Amino acid sequence: MGEVVRFALLGLGVGALYAFASQGLIVIYRGTGVLNFSLGATAIAGVFLQWELQYEQGWPFLPAALVGVLLSAFLGVWTHWWVMKPLRRASSLVRVIATLGVLLSVQAGVIIRYGSQPRQVDSWLPTNRLILWGDVAITVDRLILLGIAAASAAGLWALYRSSQFGLATEAVSESERSASAIGLSPNRIATLNWALGSAIAAIAGILVVPIITLQVTVMTTLVLAAIAAALVGDFRSFPIATAAGLGLGVAQTLVGRFTDQQGLGASLPFLVIIGVLVLRGRSLPLRDYFLKQQPMLGNGRMSWDWTILGCGVIVFLMLTKEPKWIDALTVSLGVAIVLLSIVVLTGYAGQLSLAQYTIAGFGAYVAGRLVAVYDIPFLLGLVAGIAAAVPVGLVFALPAVRTRGINLAVVTLGLGTTMELMLFRNRSYTGGVQGTQVGNPDLFGYDIGSIKYPERYGIFVLAMAILAVWVVSNVRRGRSGRRLIAVRTNERAAAALGVDVMKAKLFAFAFAAGLAALGGILLAFRLSSISYGSFTTATSITFAGLALVGGVGHLLGAFVGATMATAGFNQEILESTWGGVGRWIQLISGIAILLTVLGYQDGVAAEWVKMFRYFKKARKWGRPYIIRLEDVADLTAPADEDTRVAPHALIIEGLTVTYGTVVAVNNVSYRLEPGTVTGLIGPNGAGKTSLIDAISGFAPADGRVLVDDVDISMLSPTLRARSGVARSFQSLELFEDSTVFENLSVAADPQDLRSYLRDLIWPVNPTFPPEVVRAVVEFQLDHDLHRDVKDLAYGKRRLLAIARAVAMHPSILMLDEPAAGLSSAESEELAVVVRRLAEEWGMTVLVVEHDMNFVMGVCDQVMVLDFGSLIAAGPPEVVRSDPAVIAAYLGDEADETEDDEPSSVGAAGSSAMTMTAGDGS
- Alpha carbons 716 and 713: distance in angstroms, whole number: 8
Instruction: Tell me which residues in 513-552 interact with other proteins (CB under 8 A).
Output: none
Instruction: Tell me which residues in 228-287 interact with other proteins (CB under 8 A).
Output: none
**626 contributes a contact to other proteins by CB under 8 A:** yes
Pair 202, 17: CB distance under 8 Å: no
**877 contributes a contact to other proteins by CB under 8 A:** no
**920 contributes a contact to other proteins by CB under 8 A:** yes
Distance of CA 162 to the CA centre of its chain: 35
Taking the complex as a whole, the smallest distance from the CB of residue 889 to other proteins amounts, in Å, to 6
**752 contributes a contact to other proteins by CB under 8 A:** no
Taking the complex as a whole, the smallest distance from the CB of residue 624 to other proteins amounts, in Å, to 6
Q: Which of 694, 743, 818 is nearest to 499 (CA)?
A: 743
Which one, 639 or 907, has the nearer CB to other proteins?
907
- Alpha carbons 193 and 29: distance in angstroms, whole number: 8
> Buried b vs exposed e over 363-398: b needs ≥16 C-beta within 10 Å?
bbbbbbbbbbeeeeebeebbebbbebbbebbeebbe
Instruction: Tell me which residues in 583-622 interact with other proteins (CB under 8 A).
Output: 620
Among 170, 788, 840, 860, binds other proteins (CB under 8 A): 170
Among 127, 180, 658, 723, binds other proteins (CB under 8 A): 180
**832 contributes a contact to other proteins by CB under 8 A:** no
Taking the complex as a whole, the smallest distance from the CB of residue 188 to other proteins amounts, in Å, to 9
- Alpha carbons 197 and 223: distance in angstroms, whole number: 13
- Alpha carbons 805 and 814: distance in angstroms, whole number: 9
**433 contributes a contact to other proteins by CB under 8 A:** no
Taking the complex as a whole, the smallest distance from the CB of residue 407 to other proteins amounts, in Å, to 21
**900 contributes a contact to other proteins by CB under 8 A:** no
Tell me the window of 104-112, 179-187, 366-374, 502-510 that interacts with other proteins (CB under 8 A).
179-187
SS3 for 405-445, per residue? CHHHHHHHHHHHHHHHHHHHCCCCCCCCCCCEECCCCEECC
**652 contributes a contact to other proteins by CB under 8 A:** no
Among 853, 860, 869, 871, binds other proteins (CB under 8 A): 853
Taking the complex as a whole, the smallest distance from the CB of residue 488 to other proteins amounts, in Å, to 22
**794 contributes a contact to other proteins by CB under 8 A:** yes
Among 60, 445, 638, 891, binds other proteins (CB under 8 A): 891
Taking the complex as a whole, the smallest distance from the CB of residue 275 to other proteins amounts, in Å, to 25
Tell me the window of 92-100, 159-167, 501-509, 869-877 that interacts with other proteins (CB under 8 A).
159-167
Taking the complex as a whole, the smallest distance from the CB of residue 725 to other proteins amounts, in Å, to 26
**577 contributes a contact to other proteins by CB under 8 A:** no
- Alpha carbons 394 and 511: distance in angstroms, whole number: 9
> Buried b vs exposed e over 287-307: b needs ≥16 C-beta within 10 Å?
beeeeeebbbbbbbebeeeeb
**727 contributes a contact to other proteins by CB under 8 A:** no
Instruction: Tell me which residues in 803-822 interact with other proteins (CB under 8 A).
Output: 820-821
Taking the complex as a whole, the smallest distance from the CB of residue 824 to other proteins amounts, in Å, to 4
Pair 739, 608: CB distance under 8 Å: no
- Alpha carbons 761 and 778: distance in angstroms, whole number: 35
SS3 for 84-146, per residue? HCCCCCECHHHHHHHHHHHHHHHHHHHHHHHCCCCECCCCCCCCCEEEEECCEEEEHHHHHHH
Which one, 9 or 740, has the nearer CB to other proteins?
740
3-state secondary structure of 540: helix
**899 contributes a contact to other proteins by CB under 8 A:** yes
Phi, psi (degrees; rounded to nearest 5) at 845: -110, 135
Among 79, 854, 861, 882, binds other proteins (CB under 8 A): 854
Query: Judged by CB under 8 A, how many residues of this single chain contact other proteins?
Result: 68
Among 82, 155, 175, 875, binds other proteins (CB under 8 A): 175
**134 contributes a contact to other proteins by CB under 8 A:** no
**117 contributes a contact to other proteins by CB under 8 A:** no
**783 contributes a contact to other proteins by CB under 8 A:** yes
Taking the complex as a whole, the smallest distance from the CB of residue 789 to other proteins amounts, in Å, to 14
Among 85, 850, 860, 876, binds other proteins (CB under 8 A): 850
**164 contributes a contact to other proteins by CB under 8 A:** yes
Burial class (CB in 10 A: 0-12, 13-18, 19+), 197: buried
- Alpha carbons 188 and 186: distance in angstroms, whole number: 6
**823 contributes a contact to other proteins by CB under 8 A:** yes
Q: Which of 826, 835, 886, 806 is nearest to 678 (CA)?
A: 835
Among 56, 630, 752, 919, binds other proteins (CB under 8 A): 919
DSSP symbols for 159-209: HHHHSHHHHHHHHHHH-HHHHHHTT--HHHHHHHHHHHHHHHHHHHHHHHT
Pair 655, 695: CB distance under 8 Å: yes
- Alpha carbons 449 and 323: distance in angstroms, whole number: 13
DSSP symbols for 655-686: EEEEETTEEEEEEEEEEE-TT-EEEEE-STTS
**623 contributes a contact to other proteins by CB under 8 A:** yes
DSSP 871: E
Which one, 175 or 259, has the nearer CB to other proteins?
175
Tell me the window of 144-152, 294-302, 306-314, 847-855 that interacts with other proteins (CB under 8 A).
847-855
**86 contributes a contact to other proteins by CB under 8 A:** no
Among 673, 829, 839, 892, binds other proteins (CB under 8 A): 892
**890 contributes a contact to other proteins by CB under 8 A:** yes
- Alpha carbons 732 and 628: distance in angstroms, whole number: 25
| Residues pairing with 658 in the sheet | 663
Among 787, 798, 804, 809, binds other proteins (CB under 8 A): 787
**765 contributes a contact to other proteins by CB under 8 A:** no
Taking the complex as a whole, the smallest distance from the CB of residue 821 to other proteins amounts, in Å, to 7
Q: Looking at this protein, which amino acid is placed at residue 455?
A: E
Among 134, 580, 750, 918, binds other proteins (CB under 8 A): 918
Among 624, 750, 765, 897, binds other proteins (CB under 8 A): 624
Tell me the window of 240-248, 326-334, 753-761, 900-908 that interacts with other proteins (CB under 8 A).
900-908
Cβ-Cβ contacts under 8 Å for 641 (sequence gap 6 or more): none
3-state secondary structure of 848: strand
Instruction: Tell me which residues in 679-698 interact with other proteins (CB under 8 A).
Output: 683-685
Pair 216, 107: CB distance under 8 Å: yes
- Alpha carbons 469 and 465: distance in angstroms, whole number: 6
Give contact residues for other proteins (rule: CB under 8 A): 162, 164, 167-168, 170-171, 174-175, 177-186, 620, 623-624, 626, 628, 683-685, 783, 787, 793-794, 820-821, 823-825, 827, 850-854, 867, 880, 886, 889-893, 896, 898-899, 901, 903, 905-906, 908-910, 912-913, 915-921
